[in-house]
Every structure is written in C-alpha cells, then in structure tokens.
C-alpha cells in the first residue's frame, strides 16, 4: 500500500538558515506528490505539487522540492528561513492509476513542525 | 475563484450530544469533497469523501456520518458525541476530473467535554 514517511516530527532552524524537510514515499509507480503548510488553528495550504513535469518544483513563499525517483524522495527546501515559516508541514501523495491519472485520495505523512529561532 | 467555508469555527459540546458541521464550496461545480480529522499529536485522518450528491464513502468506522445534500455542501454529523471525537475537523475539495490537489477549509475546532 502507498505510504508517506516524514523524517523528523520537529525541526528547528535559525532565521536565515537552510530549511530541509524530508519526505519519502513508497510506490512502485511514481505518484503525484504535494507539500502543504498549516499554521496554528488554520486549514492546510498547498505549497507546491509534483505531477510528472519538471523534477524541481517551485512553490509559494520561496519553497521548492525536488522529486528523486531513485531515492523515492520529495524533500522540501528553502534557502533562508524566515520567522513566518514556523508552521507544520505535511507531505502527501496520491497514487497514480494504471493509465496515469490520479486515483484521487491523498495520503498524508504525519507532519513536521518547523521552528525558526531568531 | 473558489472558496471553501466551514462553520462553526469552534464548538464545545458535552458527551452524548449531537453534532452537525457544515462545509460549502463556492466557485466550482461537481467537486470531490472530503472530511478529515486532526487529533492532538496525530496526523490527518480521512473520515469521508464524496464524488457526488448522495454518494458517501467512509474510510473509518466510527459514530460519525456524512451527507451531501447539494453539489457543494458537505455535512458531518453525529447522534451522540464521544470524548474521542474531539479534534480539528477539516473539509476539503478537489476537482473531480483530475483528482489532484485538495484545497482545505479553515477548519472547526471541536472539544467534547
């Protein structure tokens, strides 16, 4: 069955430092991949998505993620952390069907809370 | 543009009382609709999804139910709440044909006392 693993439930970085949040998926067929961000007591906001075009995907707020099929990974990065990046980040996948289309339902990782120190 | 609304934003209910949470989507037609729950310290749990009016799929057996009386309206209900029903409830929608990303509402914080 499809699954998503986010390494590290909590990550702390200093303001201005590199942000790296890890996500690995399990699938024999590369799925569609997403990163979402959730601020306290708010809904999830889509940061970026990979659906089989360029392997390096740029999203909002300066975040980007690289799809690496050989490593079954989709890690999220940002070159320089800002205080406003403190939030919880979720990686998600949706299985790709036999004919390439999505089967619809998202499978979420358990989330990584990012703290940014001044 | 599309927007998704949820209400109420917060709710405190005693054990054994009924529940009704509502979600509506504007600016799109025939969406897929989803209900998720986030319990403290846990990830997102898919509760129900719907691909059309009156079509509900349940992912987790529990004392909750869902209904879709109109194309862009999704309701989460319970006849008798349990303490374990406390959590943050999120509604989401996606474009039916592509089934790719989902867009989330602002959520409802439910506390069962």
For residue range B60-111, what is the model confidence (pLDDT) as tens digits? 868 999 999 999 999 999 999 999 999 999 999 998 665 478 999 999 999 9
**Residue A104 and residue A117: Cα distance in Å, rounded?**
37
Give the per-residue pLDDT at A2.
Answer: 74
Cβ contact B98–A103 (<8 Å):
no
Determine the average pLDDT of the residues in A5-27.
Answer: 95
Cβ contact A41–B103 (<8 Å):
no
pLDDT digits (tens, 9 = 90+) for B7-65: 999 999 999 999 999 999 999 888 999 999 998 777 888 999 898 999 998 888 689 99
- The phi and psi torsions of A5 (rounded to 5 degrees) equal -120, 125
Q: How far is A46 from chain B (nearest CA, A)?
A: 7
Token pair in block for residue A77: 């990065």
**Residue A44 and residue A87: Cα distance in Å, rounded?**
10
Measured at the CA of A8, the angle between CA A6 and CA A14, to 5 degrees, comes to 120
Determine the average pLDDT of the residues in A75-101.
Answer: 85
Token pair in block for residue B72: 């862009």
Q: Is B98 on the interface with A (CB under 8 A)?
A: yes
CB pairs under 8 A between A and B: 50
Interface test with B, best of A1, A9, A39, A44 (most B CBs within 10 A): A44
Give the per-residue pLDDT at A68.
Answer: 93
Residues 48-107 of A with CB under 8 A from B: 49, 51, 90, 94, 101-106
Give the per-residue pLDDT at A53.
Answer: 74
């Amino acid at each position: 069955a499809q699954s998503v693993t986010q390494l590290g439930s909590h990550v702390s970085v200093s303001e201005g430092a590199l942000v790296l949040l890890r996500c690995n998926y399990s699938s024999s067929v590369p799925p569609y991949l997403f990163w979402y961000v959730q601020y306290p007591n708010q809904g999830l906001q889509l940061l970026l998505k990979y659906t089989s075009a360029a392997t390096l995907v740029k999203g909002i707020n300066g975040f980007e993620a690289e799809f690496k099929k050989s490593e079954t990974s989709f890690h999220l990065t940002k070159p320089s952390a800002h205080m406003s990046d403190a939030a919880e980040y979720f990686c998600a996948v949706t299985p790709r069907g036999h004919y390439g289309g999505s089967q619809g339902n998202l499978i979420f990782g358990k989330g990584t809370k990012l703290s940014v120190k001044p | 543009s599309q927007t998704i609304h949820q209400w109420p934003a917060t709710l405190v209910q005693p054990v054994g009382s009924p529940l009704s949470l509502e979600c509506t989507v504007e600016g799109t037609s025939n969406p897929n609709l989803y209900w998720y729950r986030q319990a403290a310290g846990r990830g997102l749990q898919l509760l129900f999804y719907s691909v059309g009016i009156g079509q509900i799929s349940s992912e987790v057996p529990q004392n909750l139910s869902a209904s879709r009386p109109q194309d862009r309206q999704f309701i989460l209900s319970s006849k008798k709440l349990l303490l374990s029903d406390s959590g943050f409830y999120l509604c989401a929608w996606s474009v039916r044909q592509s089934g790719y990303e989902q867009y989330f509402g602002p959520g409802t914080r439910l506390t069962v006392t």
